[in-house]
Structure 1
Amino acid sequence: MLKQKFDSVPWTTTQTFNGIFLTLVPWIAFTVVSSLFSTSTTGQAAKPLNLQADIANAVVSLIFSLIIYSAFLMAPFFYARRYSQTTGADQRSVWQLLGFRRCNVGLAVLLVLGSLVLIVLLNQVYSYLITTFHLPLQTNDQLVLQRAKTAPITTYVSLFIAVVVAPFCEEIFFRSFSFMGLKNGMPPVMAVILSALIFGAAHGDPASLPVLFFIGIALAVLRLATGSYWPGYFLHFLNNGLSALLIILAVHGVHI
């Protein structure tokens, strides 16, 4: 087992940027194409899919999403395993390098709940500004709501991916790999800001960028403050789960 406090990682800043580039360029291209396709289909008088078509679409979406999200794990595990093999450390050290270790539970719970409250408040303020000033912005949540009218099963699968798969993979890539790697070559504050910008931009949702940027900052601060992967994962899971719940309620005519 590695004998270190895990306040740094063995991959360099250059290797971090290489991993970010090779991972996010295909991902952003996929996100943009998907967004354009969704906009074109929802912009038309789209007819609801029949049950068989919706199920088939949902299965394809699930498989493709799992493949895409698995790409987020390639760079982190590649560099962590290479260091582990070089030093002769056991397999457990790979996971420890990526933040899978214990932390101060009390501090973690306090930070997670406090961050979640701030994110919810920011979302409310941001939605109020968009509505009040009639800003021409459409977030991904609104697109999901529109798609739910024509492909409900596919929508539920997308929400499952967002709540269960995305937090696991994204926290490994954006915080355990990218943020920690950036921190090796720049001040922590700059690493927090840059990693949050990368996190926000990677979602391909310009309308939600201010909120995503703040979430990225909160997640990076959690990683820095606790030294563990888990608090950020749970905050990410709770935030996405809350958004998914609100979307499901809205689909059924319940608005909060």
Structure 2
Amino acid sequence: MSSPSHSEGRPLPGRPPLKAEEAPAPWSFRETWLALLIPLVPWLLLALGSQLQGSRLPAPKTPLSLQQDLEGALTALLSTMIVEGAFLLVALFFARRALRRQAESQPAEPLVTERSGEATSRLAPSVARRKHIPVGAVLHALGLRRFHPLFVWLVIAFLALLYVVNSLYSALLEGLHLPLQTNDQVILESSRLAPLTTVALLVLAVLVAPLCEEIFFRGFVLPGLRRGLATGWAIVVSALVFGLAHADLGSLPVLIVIGLLLAILRWWSGSIYPGLLLHMLNNGISAMVILLYMLGRLH
């Protein structure tokens, strides 16, 4: 896998550059915020309402029946697909619309007739078809591109860094006796009562959420923020929004750090794939730990 872009400096002969130069996003800074608010506001309101309702209801103390657990798993599957799908569809819609607008703004090339040799105002077929934007062009604009294989080592380094950050944060919460629960702790507690629902949530967290969130936050939001902010500030703002979007106060500091590392990977590599790999590995390790607890292998 090699980066198709050129670097700022002059790369070594035969060796692709590590830092990929990238054209500005075709969507505007304003469109970025509009696309961000469309799925984010309803989701945060729904999450807040769910948490308030859950705090008022007594927590179940006995495991759910198989039917109740299966219904919970299907509900979790459906609701997660709707939420994550909303982020994905918004990114695809705004990116495609921006690419179409960009194509339509290009000047038309006149055709030269074979008989007279005179230019006519009729558009060339390639220009006339510009209103149709291929899916591949949309995905490429959203960062689904090849990247330099050395970024895999950076993914591993960032994964180790996240382990350290998680350990320090957990020790801080325990040392200060803060009444905060991370999302993993909530899932772990619910696993004793609803194992099927827990497994469904873990599968979605590893396979579905990383793809949709990387396309939206790092493929769409980050490049769009760079249209109106310096790169450093765009990375910070995208990380803050990413953390807040999880509606998980207990894990917010760690989520912001994760958002920073994912945004840095996107900026340096020019692709969302390294961040997608890091995101899936991070969620996968957390899911594996919870599954081991459920199986009684960890205490």
- Give the match for residue 72 of structure 1: 87
Q: Tell me, yes or no, if structure 1 residue 150 matches structure 2 residue 193.
A: yes
Structure with the larger helix share: 1
**Given that residues 54 and 152 in structure 1 are in contact (C-alpha distance below 8 angstroms), is that contact kept between their aligned partners in structure 2?**
yes
Instruction: Provide closer, same or farther for how the CA distance between residues 119 and 198 of structure 1 changes in structure 2, counting only shifts above 3 A.
Output: same
Instruction: Provide closer, same or farther for how the CA distance between residues 37 and 236 of structure 1 changes in structure 2, counting only shifts above 3 A.
Output: farther
Q: Which stretch shows the higher mean deviation, 160-169 or 31-40?
A: 31-40
**Given that residues 38 and 143 in structure 1 are in contact (C-alpha distance below 8 angstroms), is that contact kept between their aligned partners in structure 2?**
no
**Which among 142, 162, 173 is matched to residue 98 of structure 1?**
142
**Which among 7, 11, 14 is matched to residue 30 of structure 2?**
14
**Which among 25, 28, 33 is matched to residue 49 of structure 2?**
33
**Given that residues 7 and 227 in structure 1 are in contact (C-alpha distance below 8 angstroms), is that contact kept between their aligned partners in structure 2?**
no
Q: Which stretch shows the higher mean deviation, 94-103 or 60-69?
A: 60-69
Structure 1 gaps of 5+ residues are none
Q: Secondary structure at the match of 1:253?
A: coil
Deviations, residues 141-182 of structure 1 (Å, cap 9, x unaligned): 111111111111001001111111100000011111111100
Structure 2 gaps of 5+ residues are 7-20, 104-129
Q: Secondary structure at the match of 2:208?
A: helix
Deviations, residues 168-206 of structure 1 (Å, cap 9, x unaligned): 000011111111100111100000100000000111111
**Structure (1 or 2) with the larger CA radius of gyration:** 2
Match of 2:94, as an amino acid? Y
**Which among 54, 59, 76 is matched to residue 44 of structure 1?**
59
The structure 1 segments of at least 4 consecutive aligned residues displaced by more than 4 Å after TM superposition are 37-41
Match of 2:85, as an amino acid? S
User: 2:191 and 2:55 mapped to 1: Cα distance?
Assistant: 13
- Give the match for residue 71 of structure 2: 56
User: 1:40 and 1:155 mapped to 2: Cα distance?
Assistant: 22
User: 1:46 and 1:90 mapped to 2: Cα distance?
Assistant: 53
User: 1:218 and 1:224 mapped to 2: Cα distance?
Assistant: 10
Match of 1:64, as an amino acid? S
Instruction: Report how many residues are paired.
Output: 252
**Given that residues 48 and 151 in structure 1 are in contact (C-alpha distance below 8 angstroms), is that contact kept between their aligned partners in structure 2?**
yes
User: 1:40 and 1:157 mapped to 2: Cα distance?
Assistant: 25
Match of 1:191, as an amino acid? A
User: 1:204 and 1:30 mapped to 2: Cα distance?
Assistant: 10
Q: How does 1:216-235 map to 2 (within 5 A)?
A: 216-235=259-278
- Give the match for residue 39 of structure 2: 23
User: 1:153 and 1:40 mapped to 2: Cα distance?
Assistant: 24
Query: What RMSD in Å do the two structures reach over aligned CA positions?
Result: 1.8
**Given that residues 26 and 99 in structure 2 are in contact (C-alpha distance below 8 angstroms), is that contact kept between their aligned partners in structure 1?**
no
Q: Secondary structure at the match of 1:105?
A: coil
**Given that residues 179 and 220 in structure 1 are in contact (C-alpha distance below 8 angstroms), is that contact kept between their aligned partners in structure 2?**
yes
**Given that residues 80 and 97 in structure 1 are in contact (C-alpha distance below 8 angstroms), is that contact kept between their aligned partners in structure 2?**
yes
User: 2:43 and 2:32 mapped to 1: Cα distance?
Assistant: 16
Deviation at 1:40, TM superposition (A): 5.0
Match of 2:91, as an amino acid? P
Q: Which stretch shows the higher mean deviation, 167-176 or 32-41?
A: 32-41
User: 1:242 and 1:7 mapped to 2: Cα distance?
Assistant: 35
TM-score (norm 1): 0.92
User: 1:105 and 1:34 mapped to 2: Cα distance?
Assistant: 42
**Which among 130, 136, 153 is matched to residue 173 of structure 2?**
130
